[in-house]
Amino acid sequence: MTSARHENQLMIPEGVLLGHALVARLAGSLGIRVFFIKGPASVTQGLREAKISADVDVFVDPSKVEELLQGLHERGWRQRPADPDDRTFPKHSVTVHHAAWPCCIDVHFRFPGMERTAYDCFEALWANTVHMQLAGQRLRVPTKALGILFLALHALRSHELPACRQELEYLAVLTRRDSQAEALLELASATGALAAVRPFLEGLLPEPIAPAWPEPSREWRNRVAAQAPGSARIIAIVQAPWGEKPNILWRAVRPGREVLLGANIYADMSLPGRFRQHGARWVRFLVALPRLTGDLRKLRSNGD
């Protein structure tokens, strides 16, 4: 086990390890509860096959998000531009970057698929964290069962992608091998994730256990349905009240500067560069149109 963990650690870029250490020290100095999800912790715990981590994913007490972001800002980190449209893209994290660092930090305050309020959900999550030695620090990370829940929900959002299907298969084998299904059920119930995780968990539970599965929320159905480029905006337009449709449509046709920079922080924002990006968006939209139509059909079949 020690040698396997050492091999996995070799897949973690130094910048990512230092990013974990930076956030852990900062949060500790401010008295803020944080724990780290996905990334190196998941690989080290054996929840994921060895892969290179590209950024730092930290989950923070929702009541302290602004305090942590301010602390990062004072150390040179800046919030990455993001689409301000909360209807189309409900926010669950804030991404910050630093000119001198080779990775970003994703500051999570909620997680898609977990439907309890952010504050109640965090308490349930915090109660299911453990300490791990990583990046020269004693860090808080999810228990194995909670780590599986995070990864399963993340993969279920894009379950049609081969990489996500492969991850779900890997997690299913791990869940059976380590008898984690009942612990997963308890965590999903505590965080309001039963509806979202059902496609993964239902077939893993022992036969006598038959929970009352709730219906997934509209936000979750939209996230799962919006697989094609542009489909999230089209879904938002279809579902919005008539008075709000023109504004959403206008933002889709003429995205703001922050939308273009959110896709690529180094994007060419000169006039010719913006024209090229607008053209590329339309090409992606037209190529994806048949799949987008299928996404809408799926939603309508569910009554949305």
How large is the average pLDDT for residues 69-87? 86
Residue 63 to residue 121: CA distance in whole angstroms = 12
Tabulate helix, strand, coil % of the chain (nearest 5): 55, 10, 35
| Mean pLDDT value across the chain | 84
Two tokens, residue 74: 């004072």
**Considering only 26-30, 93-97, 209-213, which range has the smallest mean pLDDT?**
209-213
Mean pLDDT of 109-130: 95
pLDDT at 5 over 50: no
Tokens at residue 56, please? 């730092």
Q: What percent of the chain has pLDDT over 90?
A: 46
Strands (DSSP E) found in 242-294:
none
Q: State the Cα angle at 87 between 227 and 250, rounded to 5°.
A: 90
Residue 262 Cα distances to 82, 110, 163, 165, angstroms: 5, 20, 24, 27
pLDDT at 93: 92
Taking the C-alpha atoms of residue 104 and residue 20, their distance in angstroms, rounded to an integer, is: 11
pLDDT for residue 251: 75
pLDDT band for 264, please (50, 70, 90 cuts).
Answer: low
> What would the mean pLDDT of 15-22 be, rounded to a whole number?
86
Q: How far apart are CA 167 and CA 154, in angstroms?
A: 10
Angle (CA) 212 300 192, round 5°: 30
CA–CA dist 123, 61 (Å, integer): 8
Spatial separation of the C-alpha atoms in residues 267 and 67, rounded to whole Å: 30
Give mean pLDDT, residues 123-139.
Answer: 89
CB 197 within 8 A of CB 152: yes
Cα 97 to Cα 63: distance, rounded to the nearest angstrom:
22
Q: Which pLDDT band holds residue 303 (cuts at 50, 70, 90)?
A: low
Q: What is the pLDDT of residues 41-72, one digit of tens each?
A: 888 888 987 777 778 999 999 999 999 999 99
Lowest mean pLDDT among 17-26, 243-252, 259-268: 259-268
| Per-residue confidence band for 10, with pLDDT thresholds at 50, 70 and 90 | very low
Position 80 scores a pLDDT of 85
Label residue 2 by pLDDT band (50, 70, 90). very low
- pLDDT at residue 101 is higher than 90: no
